[in-house]
Chain A
């Protein structure tokens, strides 16, 4: 099955700096890579996603890059703000396309 690894597990940045989270996946047939943000005690929410036919996607301060050859994708948050503090999860679908596998999560702390 799909194996998704995420690094780092924790990330502390100063407000205004950038944050980068990286994920690798094992199934080369995967074609959809979402990123979710989860605040404490709440449900995960989709913040950005990318499909395998593009290498980069940007939405304001958030961007995702995908390298299919290397089987890794990254989340970039620029000009971080305290409200960006949360846990971020990457995910990838299984080869059979019947379920989503999540990375281990990255706890991001933006210090004012």
Chain B
């Protein structure tokens, strides 16, 4: 099956620093990737849609200047959490659709557990 790889799987950073998370589609090209945040015992909440070669689309309430998204190639999207604070601690997970349509199976990265201390 299609594979989406996400790195790092776990990161601890100091408050005020920035953290970059990578999401790669390993065996298919993804013009669109999605970034979710999942707090403990909660659902996946879509943060933004990453579009290859253009600006990301952010969901309401998500600060685009804090969560920087870059989709520079058809197989790589990055999420940078800038000036991280303890409340940004969460499980971040990316996904992509192999065929590009949301009416097909979504493949997820392994997720990144971010802890801001």
Contact = CB atoms under 8 A, between A and B. Distances in A.
B108 A43 contact: yes
Nearest to B45: A102
B41 A93 contact: no
A43 B36 CA distance: 11
Nearest to B94: A43
Interface in A30-61: 31-32, 34, 36, 41-46, 49, 51
Contact of A97 (B93, B101, B105): B101
A94 interface: yes
Interface stretch (B72-80, B82-90, B109-117): B109-117
Question: Size band of the A side of the interface?
Answer: 20 to 34
Contacts of A46: 105-106
Interface in B21-47: 32, 34, 41-46
B91 to A, nearest CB: 8
A93 B102 contact: yes
B65 interface: no
18 contacts: A31-B103, A34-B105, A43-B93, A43-B109, A43-B111, A44-B93, A44-B108, A46-B106, A49-B105, A89-B44, A91-B106, A97-B101, A97-B102, A99-B102, A100-B46, A100-B102, A104-B43, A105-B43
Interface of B: 32, 34, 41-46, 49, 91, 93, 95, 101-106, 108-111, 113
